[in-house]
Amino acid sequence: MQLVFATNNRNKLQEVQKLFPPDIKLLSLEDIGCHEEIEETEPTLEGNAILKANYITKHYGYSCFADDTGLLVDALNGEPGVHSARYAGNQKNTEDNINKLLTNLKGELNRSAHFKTVIALNHNKEQFLFQGIVTGTLTTERKGEKGFGYDPIFIPDGYDKTFAEIPMDIKNKISHRAKATQQLLAFFK
């Protein structure tokens, strides 16, 4: 079986590929010749995941899934949320995003946050949604070299290291994206 993952994010693609069994061939947007950036214009993570999956199904005809992920910070009323990738501007720069978040949290004692991933799957002319959440706390400075996005400042509950310090095989068992992807894979069993 072939399934398209509607993302241009190489890090996200590599992370998810490690979760898939060999009998499901995961194709990237590049693999199917889709080079356009699919605008995330919806006000929710669910809406953006659906928008991207529907775009690929409509224009390319593949069974596909798309995700949208946000970091929701309690002290900032859920910011950056749906705007996580563009928190510091449309340039989608991870360092700028982290800097803005740490600045906005300066002096804040409540560092609680959670990552949420929503996956929209279009398969056999039906649509299904899957969701994964991981709770944790935010550090005051970056720690670790692994991962991507906000990983260097997020410590998942039950751990004393950030996602950027935790080995990928552990992150791929406990992360928001792993939880949503595991639901997606269970759907195909």
Catalytic residues, which ones?
Answer: 68
DSSP string, 122-151: EETTEEEEEEEEEEEEE-SS---SSS-TTG
Rg (CA), the chain: 16
